[in-house]
Structure 1
Amino acid sequence: QPKRQGLGSEDLPADSVRAISISTLYLISTTVDRMSDVLWPYLLEFLTPVQFTGALTPLCRSLAHLALKRQEAGADAFLSQYEASANLPSPYAITARLLVVSSDPYVGDGRGAASLRLLHVLHQRIHPLLGPRWETTIPRLVQHLDECTEETLSRKEWEEKLLMFLRDTLAVVSDNTWVSQLSLEMCKQLPCYNGMPQEKNFLYKCIGTTLGAASSKEVVRKHLQELLETARYQEEAEHEGLACCFGICAISHLDDALAQLEDFVRSDVFRKSVGILSIFKDRSESEVEKVKGTLILCYGHVAAQAPRELVLARVEADILRNMFQYFSTKVLGIKVETKDPALKLCLVQSVCMVSQAICGSAQAGAFHFSWKAELVAHMMEFIRAEPLDSLRTPLRKMAMVACTLLVSLEPPLEEQMRAEVTHGCLHSVMALLPEPEGEDASDRKALYLDTVHALEDLLTSLLHRNMTPQGLQIMVEHLNPWIKSPRSHERERALGVSACLLRYFLEHLHVSALVPFHNLGLLVGLFSPRCADLWPATRQEAVGCIYSLLYLQLGYEGFARDYRDDVAEQLLALRDSLVHPDLSVLFHTCHSIAQIIGKRLPPDQLISLLLTIFEALGDPDKNCSHAATVMINCLLKERGGVLLEKVPEIISMLRSKLQGTQEEHVLKAAQHSVYLLASQHRAAVVSSLLGSPLPFDSHTCTLWRALAVDPSLTTQVLRLLLEKMNRDVPFKESRAFLLSSTPDRVATLLPLAATCALYEVLSAPASGAAVLELYPELFVALLLRISCTVGVQLPRNLQAKERRSSGGPPAIRNLEPCSSAVDTLQAMLLRGGSEEVVWHLELEGGWELLRTSEGHEEGVTQLARAMAKHAGPRLPLVMKALISTQSSAYEIQRVTSTAFLAELLSSNVVNDLMLLESLLVNLAARQKDTCASVRRLVLRGLANLASSSPDKVRAHGPQLVTALIGGLDDADDLHSLVALEAMAGLARLLDLVEPWDLRSVLLHVAIRIRPFFDSEKVEFRRASICLFGHLSKACHGDCEDVVLEQTLSALAPLLLHLCDPQAAVVTACRFALRMCGPNLACEELTAAFQKHLQDGRGLHFGEFLNTTCKHLMLHFPDLLGRLVSTSLFYFKSSWEDVRAAAPMFTGFLVLHADRELRHQVDLEQLLAALQLLLKDPVPMVRMKAAETLGRLVKFA
């Protein structure tokens, strides 16, 4: 059919048609006469059918107007018309309908107010007794709706007002029959609201309220049973509605509600429903879980709504037992808990309600809740099972809420359970990944914030159980890993929770007596570095934490809660600066924060604060690590003076921190910290660092070098180290084996550590000024340290450590005592500007010589020589310091100092620096030293005057000669090295001494050295013969009688030693004979000596000896017997060439002697000696003996 066209040939919109219909209905109802008789009975039929819900508002308005008109007309035919027409709704249906639709009052153009007004007009029709009460209650409800809007109205509050109105109505009627009919009608209307969850939910509440007013237990049980049997469990909203119904009903009928729940579970209906559902394998599990979830919720609401005094007796045996019975299922007798999140959520919600019910009871404090630990364990299982990559359901939040309520109940949780709850909940929330942006981002954010608030409430409830500094620390320790997390969002969350806990602690702080806040430093130290976190929000939370902690300290000191401290309040002003992106501003702010902390922190808390901030030096967030360095140095500078006793602990912490990082700024910070500590407690810092294990690792070395920053501090540190190095004995003697002949020398630890420490400080370039100031003391102390560690071993434990390290990376430095001292002296010289000395000894091998027992003395000599050549200006003070040590108890130190001073006398620098006189005096004073080496070196030093100051020898001649002659008579040993040194020294000086200074000692010297001519030791033969030559040379023209006699006495040995096996002795003999020639007053002999005995010229010994003997017998015939007797002595010489030369010498003497001289010779003795030589194993000796025998014929 063709469509009927309207205006403009277009269909009217549906909204326009509806508006026109509403206006028309209201116009007809209010203006057309006698229409009330037509509309009144029929409009009522449209009131209760759900399909007309959209027209309720105009319908209610029209009905209200019609009812008022009929009341004004006196018509009272409502009841008769109701009875006559079965289509008209009953008063119970009207009441239920209008109440339910009023629960959502602003829908449909304000149907709530319209429904309530209609209900008000119909009060007489509902029940005769309701008029007076409704006259006051309904207008107030309508007024409340007029005052609110859809946005401002609280639905929960509004529903509570309606339920209160219903309870009031039921109380006024107070008719069990009427109440039963109303509840029956409400139950009938339930299916009508399928698909309208809010209205149906409210209707359930109305049913519960109505049943609560019923006095008949049968009616209550019957309706509750019907509700359980007919509920649509597959709908989520149904669960909450049915549970609310049971809860409200339980206010008056607790026993009936609980009994009906148990009956239902045991009933065939429940079993059949479960059985039917189990047929459908895909649906069975979820459907059954929904039924169980609803029942669990019912128990929760029953516990929450029932009278508190009745709940406690039933909560464990009847409520919780059944809840958990429904939650778990038995499979083959084994209890299996569900994994359905909806059922878990129902259980958690019910646990919350049960816990709230217990908490709300007046007897809660005395109630021993035996289920508490088990419930907490269940909640923690749920929390741990929640995923960490997303937050989609409120299960996590609700489980924490349940734990919060449970924590407040008795008995208290065990410590381990408390820790598990804290750790588990923190991990579940802190580790959540940040939610991505999306359409439901706001909902997810709201859920996250609710979850965080639940966590905060749980932690504060746990804290409330232990409101002590220790309890607070336990909480913060659980948060610590998250506060230091490498992930920014985790740090921000952790700081936020920490701030909440601290605020709670501060708000609830009650100090009954002045007690210390013993862990304040630890807590402040944990939060302080976070003031420089990468995230500005985290920085500000950190400042808030410090702010709360400082006020907590003030509270423990006795200040009132409302007291405001000017210093602490400055933290709030600094919070804004922490948002600044400029790092310099940020770290300056951190410095200011550290100053505030330093001003308010008690002295006893400073060390724990520092040690905690030290931990942050290795923080993965570089900003926090830098901030830690800034704060540490600020605190040390401001408050370091009170840390004397804690220095070892701080040094140990710094060393351990350095071992765990390679960051440059951490190294610098640690060095600066040590410097600041040392500037206030240098002795304690030095002692603490000396206590570090040997060998020093690179980190300890780094800390030592920090002490070289400031020259004045470095000087004091060096003096302390020198004192430590010299305080203890350098070594102790011990026998490694009981039968060992000589004890081992083992280094003592303190001097060894001090030596190593000196090396590290001296290695720092900045120590130069201090080294220059202490140059003499350092040089002398280290030189003597070298001397007393030559041949000294490491302690066994350090030897083992050295061996273990040999297989790994090389040690920073050799720990061997003497080598470490040599290295330190080298470092000192380099830092003191004496590089040439170091290089000179390096080229000469002097450093290696210093390290060995055999070469040490020569090494010292080379060092003195290098110092004289390259560091002359340093010598006066060095010599002064060295002289003061010459009374050392250690022989080796006296030897070293004497060797050094003795060598100085060989350099011209002693004259330039006017050191000669003092050196001579000092050396002369050591002539009687108990150590032979010292006495020997004294003589060497005196003789060195011949090299450095030959012009000064004459002035000191008597003193020098006397000293050296005293050396010849050294009492230690006939062949002592002292005597050898004396002979060498006299040989050097005799040419420079005045002749008259020799006249009185010449004979003594000649006699004293004569035995050395035949010494088994080459050095003694050479030195004595050489000295004899110098004596002869020095006395040319003087002392003829003495010299001639000694020359004649020495002539045979000198001639025979021309065959000495040692070239040096032969050379000395040549020299001596050349020098003796002039003293013999025989030109022929002198000429022969000069001709044949020049150095470097070959010698035909037989020819030379023949010539010499000829001249001797010609000019000195009386010497025949003396010379033969002397030669007989050499017949027994251990040197074969000398044994051969002796009979040759005798033969030539006999050859050139006159027969008249035979009486001088004991022929019998001579023949016996020659006969023995004929048996000599050496052919040459036998041959020479035979030749001599042949020449003796002339004496026959």
Structure 2
Amino acid sequence: MKPHPHRQKPNTVTFQLPTYHDFWNPNLRGLHQSEREAYQLIVEFIEQEQMSTADKQNFLRAVEVLSGAVHAEGNGNMNDYYPKATLAKKIETLILEESTEILDSSVRQQAMLCVVALSQVNPPFHLSEILDLVSAGISSVFSLPLIMPSLDRRESASLYLQMTQALDDMLQALVMDNMDPNMLILENFLEIILPWLTQSDKVHEQTRALGTISRLLRFVCNFPTLLHMELFSMTGKLIGILGLFCLNPNHEISLGASEALHYLSKILVLQRSVRQKTVNILRNLQKNFRGEWFTSMQNVTLFFRKYLTPVERADVIMVTMEGMTSTSRDDIYAASNMLEMILKYSIPEIGKVPEIIQYIYFHMNSITETTAQKTIKKTLYLLSQSYTDEVILTLFKIEDQSQKEVCKPWEILASFPKGCEVIMKHLLQRLVPQQPPQDREPSQRAEISPLIATRAIHELLLESSEQMEVQTLFSPLFVALLLRASFLMVAGNAEMTQDQQHVTEWVDPVSSTVKALKTLMLSSGYGNLESEIEKLGGWELLVDPERHYDGVTVVARSLVMKNCWHNRPIFGLLMRMLQDPNCTNHFTALVFLMELLQCPDVAAIVDDFVTHILANWFNCKEPATVKLLLQMTEVFTKHKNLERRLHILQPQVLNCCYSSNGDIVMETFLVLKHLVEDLTWQYSSSFLIQLTFMLEPFFEEESEHLRLLAFQIYGSLLAKVKRRVLVFPLRHQILNVIVFLVLHLQDVNLDVAQTCQVALCNTAALLRWSKLREVFTKEDVFTITGALLQQETNKALWFLKQCVALFKSTQVPIRQAAVWFAGQILQTLDLEEMNEMEEAYAALRHMKRDPDPMVSCLATQTIHVLEAKEKLLLAKPPTSCFCRRRPQRGHF
């Protein structure tokens, strides 16, 4: 060991340490003489700022000797002799003091080997100490000028090779944590090395960086266990960078990147592949070691799909996109080619989608090269297909926060017609969200709300230039947006509050939905339809809470008036939706359908299945829905195909007559009135006959309006009946209600009385009662009843039954006429028949207690007359055993 130049005994190679050192540090007593001398040199040189090359070399050898001595102790600790941190700092300083212009000494090499020796002894280096040493070593070595082997520079080239090896040894020693490499430390090393590769414009610096990375990764490959591999976050970035440099036009750089990529791939295979496949994969990798760039790109594509995590894949994409913003055409070409290859087929799961979209948004305009532009647009397109929700959320977030538009992402997305269609279909699912299966775990990715989906549809439609592509989705988009507007009108703006983080203040959910609906029409070539709805005020009605459904009617009616080609597809979608009995927007669908059914093309495709779906909705408990269905029934009389299927709805319509809701009953009779006016006997004879039987209880309704409707319906029925169809049971029922018609000539409602008179005339015409027809026209009730009884004496019991039923009428004049007519009938009976009429007698006796004195008096007088007649008949003996029998009367 060379002595320090300032020592007192320059001719002495070794020296005796002062005794006070022994006393101060008793650990020195166990050292050999050479080791004590090394310690003394360390003490002498550690504080010196200016040192010659020889002194530096002596100091470094001394540190190595002392490190060896401590290491030999087994559990020795360097701090027992000299603070290890101080030594590390000194070594770092010595490395940094070396010239980066020329390589003329072995100090760098010795310093790095000295670090290797220190790393073998306790205490371990702190991470900050390790990184300082590595940073110093890297910058000192990489900054050296290019050194090529030659006869005149043989010594420098050899020294450089030794120094490179020493750097590798230092990095390998420092990356170890006990017996295994620590991947978190390796990650820190790469962060120091990579700028020399990516930011330098000097080939020899890039080559040195690649070589160092390659040899460090090759070293790590030899260990089956890598500490903190799951926390190593540089994989994606490193693959991206190495993949780009594999495409570098410089052969040396490309070769170095290929080697480094090979070893990184090997690490991934060993750590992430199934053991049975590991050998084959490694054999294939070795076969392509130092392969051409195409082979390297194939490996990158393979590992991108099979061995990288979603976040690592995102890092690869980010690296390639950063390459596209380079000023070098070679870098842009490499980045474009690499991104094109890794995204050539179906895109795997990708992480950091918002970060990727933000980068594209803010850097699109700076990418001017044609191929790169196409590639970056394709990337946006592929991500929007696989991660529609995240892409759209990110775009809106950027646009809402950005003061000005940097690029036009919606225009890019709309420029891919098929891709735009895929996105639209996804947005449709978000407009009408489906319940996820119970066994499916909730997604960790962001999902857009229906409001955001509406905004996205509007933006895409504004940019869409392919009218045919939009038309293919017109029907589902139209239905979804219209139902969405209706839902918002019912549910309010609660959703707006929930989604406030993604919505600007000016956005109104209903207005934005209607705006999207208008844009859809314009984009689909229905500008005239949009103008028609505007002229009729339909758009304003849609956003009016009180008249929203009027707006739905106007929109639907406009589609019918303009004979829109999509009427039939829209009809089909609405019917499929109505198959679900829990459909939330059924009322809007039914309002729209009622108008669509008036379109001949739509009416022609209605079948029994569709009609049964509508019939099932009569079971709905909402009165508004039932009333709407009743009104829709009228439409079935406007088209022959619909009229043939009206019988499916008729039972539900008739059931509504007995509803507990008075409004529904009233609406039912209004519908029945119109149905009877429009129906033909050819298709609806059974329904019309059934209706004649159903009406009878409603002739005595307290509601004058409802009673009038019942008689009007019956009158319309009679007007449709022809003599050739007047057979049982229709003839029976006509006779069964004739007294109701006669006595209601006394109805307090003059319209009812007038309707009954017309109905009586029609009855007389059907039954060929020519004499009675004139009586029905001119005479009063009492005259009519007498004439009726005189002509149809054999139906007296039939008439009596009807009179008894009318005893319960709420109208005094009708009860009075009913009691009078019943008395007239009873007086025509013989003794045997009178004995069989006990029920009628009981009813008549009950009428003596009628609250109206005239009715009560008339009932009392009638009973007296009948009693007197009965006594007379009982007192008068029969004149002959063979007396002539009376004509048989009608059945009671």
Band the TM-score falls in, shorter-chain normalisation: 0.5 to 0.7
Counterpart in 2 of 1:990? Answer: 677
Which of the numbers 194, 201, 205 marks the counterpart of 1:480?
194
Q: Distance in 2 between matches of 1:1005 and 1:1031?
A: 12
Give the alignment partner of residue 261 of structure 2, picking from 539, 546, 551: 546
Cα shift readout 1:452-497 (whole Å, capped 9, x = no counterpart): 9968844641333325362543311222344443x635x9735522
Residue 54 of structure 2 is aligned to residue 352 of structure 1: no
1:465 is matched with 174
Residue in structure 1 matched with residue 434 of structure 2 by the alignment: 727
Q: 1:860 aligns with which of 547, 552, 562?
A: 552
Shift in CA distance, 497/861, structure 1 to aligned 2, threshold 3 Å: same
Alignment of 1:938 with 2:645, yes or no, is no
Measure the CA separation in 2 of the matches of 1:454 and 1:656.
Answer: 44
In the alignment, which of 301, 304, 315 is matched to residue 38 of structure 2? Answer: 315
Which among 497, 511, 519 is matched to residue 799 of structure 1?
A: 497
Q: How does 1:444-459 map to 2 (within 5 A)?
A: 457-458=166-167
1:634 corresponds to: 341
Q: 1:233-275 CA distances to partner (integer Å, 9 max, x unpaired)?
A: xxxxxx9xx799988x44xx3229x99xxxxxxxxxxxxxxxx
Q: Residue type matched to 1:319 in 2?
A: L
1:314 positional shift: 1.8
Q: What amino acid maps onto 1:986 in structure 2?
A: K
Cα distance between partner residues in 2 of 1:475 and 1:674: 33
RMSD (CA atoms) = 6.5
Q: Are 1:879 and 2:577 matched, yes or no?
A: no
Aligned partners of 1:802 and 1:825: how far apart in 2?
A: 22
Q: Once the 2 structures are TM-superposed, how far is the Cα of residue 615 of structure 1 from its aligned partner?
A: 2.9
Mapping 1:958-977, distance limit 5 Å? 969=657, 971-974=659-662, 976=663
In 2, the alpha carbon distance for the partners of 1:888 and 1:529 equals: 55
Structure 2 residue 322 is the aligned partner of structure 1 residue 618: yes
Separation (CA, whole Å) in 2 of partners of 1:396 and 1:1031: 122
Counterpart secondary structure, 2:55: helix
Cα offset, 1:595, TM superposition: 1.0
Change (3 A) 1:1044 1:448: farther
Q: What secondary structure does 2:342 align onto? A: helix
- Code of the residue aligned with 1:321 in structure 2: it is V
Structure 2 partner of 1:895: 587
Residue 11 (structure 2) pairs with residue 255 (structure 1):
no
Letter matched to residue 261 of structure 2: I
Aligned partners of 1:834 and 1:871 also within 8 Å: no
CA gap of 1:513–1:894, structure 2 versus 1, over 3 A, is closer
Which position in structure 1 is the counterpart of 2:127?
A: 415
| 2:306 is equivalent to residue 603 of structure 1 | yes
How far does residue 418 in structure 1 lie from its aligned partner after superposition?
0.7
Give CA deviations for 1:764-821 in whole Å, capped at 9, x if unaligned.
859977876676666555555554443325667x6266379546xx6xxx583x6676
CA offset at residue 850 of structure 1? 4.2
- The question of whether the paired residues in 2 share the 8 Å contact of 1:991 and 1:1034 is answered with no
Q: Give the Å deviation of 1:897.
A: 2.5
Given the two structures, how large is their TM-score scaled by the length of structure 1? 0.45
CA distance 1:690–1:1036, shift in 2 (3 Å): same
Residues 764/1005 of structure 1: CA separation in 2 closer, same or farther (3 Å cut): farther
Look up the SS of the partner of 2:621 in the other structure.
coil
Consecutive unaligned residues of structure 1, counting only runs of 5 or more, are: 1-204, 209-223, 225-238, 260-307, 328-337, 436-442, 575-588, 731-747, 1014-1019, 1055-1071, 1082-1113, 1127-1159, 1163-1196
Alignment of 1:59-98 (within 5 A): none
Assess if the C-alpha contact under 8 Å between 2:699 and 2:711 holds in 1.
no
Q: What is the rounded CA distance, in whole Å, between the counterparts of 2:695 and 2:282 in structure 1?
A: 104
1:898 and 1:937 in contact (8 A); partners too: yes
Q: CA deviation at 1:613?
A: 1.2
- 8 A Cα contact 1:492 1:535, kept in partner: no
1:827 to partner: Cα distance = 6.7
Contact 2:393 2:502 in 1 (8 A): no
AA matched with 1:635: I
**Cα deviation per residue 1:1119-1159 (whole Å; 9 max; x = unaligned)?**
9xxxx999xxxxxxxxxxxxxxxxxxxxxxxxxxxxxxxxx
- Match for residue 593 of structure 1 among 287, 296, 318: 296
Name the CA shift for 1:827/1:592 in 2 (closer, same or farther; >3 Å).
farther
- 1:728 aligned counterpart, secondary structure: coil
Q: What's the CA shift for 1:354?
A: 1.9
Where do residues 328-347 of structure 1 align in structure 2 (5 Å cutoff)? Answer: 343=50, 345-346=51-52
The answer for the alignment partner of 1:907 in structure 2 is: 599
Describe the superposition over 1:20-58 as per-residue Cα deviations: whole angstroms up to 9, x where unpaired: xxxxxxxxxxxxxxxxxxxxxxxxxxxxxxxxxxxxxxx
Q: Secondary structure at the match of 1:254?
A: coil
CA contact (8 A) 2:138 2:193 kept: yes
1:371-520 aligned within 5 A: 372-380=84-92, 402=111, 404-409=113-118, 410-411=120-121, 412-423=124-135, 426=138, 457-458=166-167, 460-466=169-175, 468=181, 470=183, 471-485=185-199, 488-489=201-202, 493=205, 496-503=208-215, 506=218, 510-511=222-223
Q: Percent identity?
A: 16
| 2:642 aligned with 1:927 | no
5+ residue gaps, structure 2: 19-30, 147-151, 401-406, 438-446, 722-733, 762-777, 784-810, 814-851, 855-892
The equivalent residue for 1:1146 is none
Shift of 1:885: 3.1
Answer yes or no: is the 8 Å Cα contact 1:725–1:750 preserved in 2. no
Q: Rate the CA distance shift 1:878–1:769 in 2: closer, same or farther, 3 A.
A: same
The Cα offsets for residues 154-183 of structure 1, whole Å up to 9 and x where unpaired, read as xxxxxxxxxxxxxxxxxxxxxxxxxxxxxx
- With over 3 angstroms needed to count, the CA separation of the structure-2 counterparts of 1:692 and 1:495, relative to structure 1, is farther
Structure 1 position 417, deviation (Å)? 0.6
Larger Rg: 1
**Partners of 1:940 and 1:982 within 8 A in 2:** no
Question: Conserved in 2, the CA contact under 8 Å of 1:902 and 1:941?
Answer: yes
State the match for 1:649 in structure 2.
351
Q: For 2:90 and 2:46, locate their aligned partners in 1 and report how far apart those are by CA, in whole Å.
A: 10
- The question of whether the paired residues in 2 share the 8 Å contact of 1:905 and 1:944 is answered with yes
Displacement of 1:413 in angstroms is 2.7
Q: What is the letter of the counterpart of residue 306 of structure 2?
A: P
Give me the TM-score of the superposition, normalised by structure 2.
0.58
**Do the aligned partners of residues 572 and 1036 (structure 1) sit closer, same or farther apart at CA in structure 2, a change above 3 Å counting?**
closer
Shift of 1:928: 4.0
Contact 1:531 1:538 in 2 (8 A): yes
Displacement, 1:313? 0.7
Equivalent residue letter for 1:938? L
- Mapped to 1, the partners of 2:159 and 2:492 lie a distance apart of 71
SS at match of 1:791: helix
- C-alpha distance in 1 between matches for 2:414 and 2:193: 38
In 1, Cα distance between equivalents of 2:560 and 2:498 = 41
Q: Measure the CA separation in 2 of the matches of 1:398 and 1:890.
A: 84
Report the 3-state secondary structure (helix = DSSP H, G, I; strand = E; otherwise coil) of the residue aligned with 1:901. Answer: helix
Could you tell me which amino acid in structure 2 is paired with residue 314 of structure 1? Answer: E
- The letter for the 1-side match of 2:633 is L
Which amino acid letter does the alignment assign opposite residue 171 of structure 2?
L
Residue pairs, 1:147-166, within 5 angstroms? none
Give the residue type in structure 1 aligned to 2:627: R
**Aligned AA (1:973):** N
* C-alpha contact 2:676 2:717 (8 A) present in aligned 1: no
- Residue 987 of structure 1: how far off its partner (Å): 4.9
How far the C-alpha of 1:358 sits from its partner, in A, is 4.6
